[in-house]
Copies of this chain bind each other. A is one copy, B any other.
Amino acid sequence: MLDATPRQSGYRHPTDLDATPRPARLRIGTGSRHPREQDRRTVTDTARSTTRYGTRPTMKDVAARAGVGLKTVSRVVNGEPGVTPDTERRVQEAITALGFRRNDSARVLRKGRTASIGLVLEDLADPFYGPLSRAVEEVARDHGALLINGSSAEDPAREQELVLALCARRVDGLVIIPAGTDHRYLEPEIAAGVATVFVDRPAGEIDADVVLSDSFGGARDAVAHLIAHGHRRIGFIGDQPRIHTAIERLRGYRAAMDEAGLPVDESWVALGSTAPERVRSAAEAMLAGPAPVTALFSGNNRVTVTVVRVLADRSRPVALVGFDDFELADLINPGITVVAQDAARLGRTAAALLFRRLDGADEPPQQRVLPTRLIPRGSGELPPA
C-alpha cells in the first residue's frame, strides 16, 4: 500500500501508476528538448512554422504576430471586453494562422481551478458503472467541467493511488465508489477544498457526502418476494464481505427470513469473490444435497449472470431474484426478476451534490439513500420445486 505522502526511497510520482518495474515513461515525439532550445521563442515569428512539430505557439507568439500586447491576446481569447473590433480581428488572424490554442495548464496554475472532476470506480467495463459514469459526465458537462476517471479494480491501494493522483492534478472534486474501508488519507485533500462525494458505498473513517442505493431494503424486498411465493429454503450469493453493499444485502436477506420466522442454514449463504467459478461452485453446493435451496437471491449483476447460467444447465426449476437490473433480463426464459437500482440516478445525484458543494453550499455531510424497485419477470415467481 502506498503512503499518502511522498517518500524518497522508491517514491513514485503519484501519476506513475504502473506497478511494474519497467521504466515506462512518457516522452513526446521530439525526444527530450534541449534546454537551450527553450529560447527559440525569441526568434522572429516568421521563423516559426505553423506545423513545426512538437512546438506550440503561445499568446506571446500570437501577440508578436498581431503586433499587440500579450494581455490583449488574453482578452480576445477569453472574450473579455475592451478590445476594438480591428484589434480583435488582427489577433484572430494571428490565432488562426498560428493554430494557437490556449494552454489550460498555465491557466489552471494561475486561476487555481481546473474545471475537472475525478471519478474513481471499480471497473468501467462493468455494465453497472457505464451509465453511472456517463451520468456524472453529463452533470459535469452542464457545469463546464471535464471528467477524469479511473478504475480501482476493487483494490484499496489502487483506489488511493488514483485518488491521490487526481488530487495532484488538482481536480476540483471527486466522486468515489470506494474499494477501501479507510479514507482518512483524504483528510488533507478535503480540508484543502476538494469536494468529495462517495457513491454506492459509504466512506470509511471519515465524514463525507454519500449517495447509496437502499441495499438493505431492496434485498429484504427480494427475499420477502421469494418467501411470498412459497419458498422456505433460500440461498444468498453475494460479493466480498469487505464491500458494504454485500453486507447490507446480507442483512436484508436475514431480516426478511427473520421476519418470516424462517431459519437460515449457514450453508445457504456465500459471500466472496464474484468470479464465475466461485459463484458457480457456491450455487451448485446450495442446489445439491438432500435439502437443497429452492430459490436463490444473487447479490449483484455479475453474480446473477453466472447463476442464470448455472440454472440454465439444470432441469429442476429454481427461483431467482437478482440485485441489479441488466439488459435483456426480460428476454431470458423465464424473465429474470430483479431488484433494480438506478445507476444513472446514483451518478446524477452524486454529481449534483458535488457541484452544490463546489458552488459553495456549506452544509454538513449528508447521506442520500435512493430507493430500489422490484421488477417481477418470472424467475422470482417460480414456485418451490
Contacts and interface: CB of A to CB of B under 8 A. Distances in A.
Interface stretch (A145-153, A211-219, A234-242, A286-294): A145-153
B105 A51 contact: no
Given A10-B79, A165-B146, A168-B103, A56 B192 contact: yes
For the complex formed by this chain, how many copies does it contain in all? 2
A169 B143 contact: no
A290 to B, nearest CB: 29
Contacts of A95: 5-6
Given A26-B143, A130-B130, 18 more contacts: A6-B100, A8-B92, A26-B144, A28-B193, A29-B357, A33-B112, A50-B188, A54-B192, A55-B193, A56-B193, A103-B170, A126-B130, A127-B127, A127-B327, A146-B165, A326-B327, A326-B328, A327-B327
B102 A168 contact: yes
14 contacts: A5-B99, A7-B92, A12-B79, A15-B115, A15-B146, A26-B145, A26-B358, A28-B172, A29-B193, A29-B358, A105-B114, A116-B148, A127-B127, A129-B130
A120 B7 CA distance: 35
A284 interface: no
Nearest to A11: B79
Contact of A134 (B13, B14, B124): B124
Given A144-B26, A172-B28, A11 B344 contact: no
A68 interface: no
A327 B15 CA distance: 33
A205 interface: no
A116 B148 CA distance: 10
A41 interface: no
A266 interface: no
B146 A150 contact: yes
A172 to B, nearest CB: 6
A327 B305 contact: yes
Contacts of A46: none
Contact of A77 (B11, B99, B112): B11
Nearest to A3: B96
Given A112-B33, A127-B127, A5 B79 contact: no
A25 B332 contact: no
Contact of A188 (B13, B18, B99, B358): B99
A315 interface: no
A280 to B, nearest CB: 14
A50 B36 CA distance: 39
A360 B29 CA distance: 4
B113 A28 contact: yes
A29 to B, nearest CB: 5
A42 interface: no
Interface string A314-340: 000000000000111001110000000
Interface string A119-160: 000011111011101110100011111111111000000000
A9 interface: yes
Given A31-B360, A115-B15, A150-B146, A193 B7 contact: no
A151 B16 CA distance: 26
A206 interface: no
A31 B164 CA distance: 24
B101 A167 contact: yes
A359 B27 CA distance: 5
A24 B143 contact: yes
Pick the most buried of A7, A27, A133, A331: most chain B CB atoms within 10 A of its CB. Answer: A331
B193 A99 contact: no
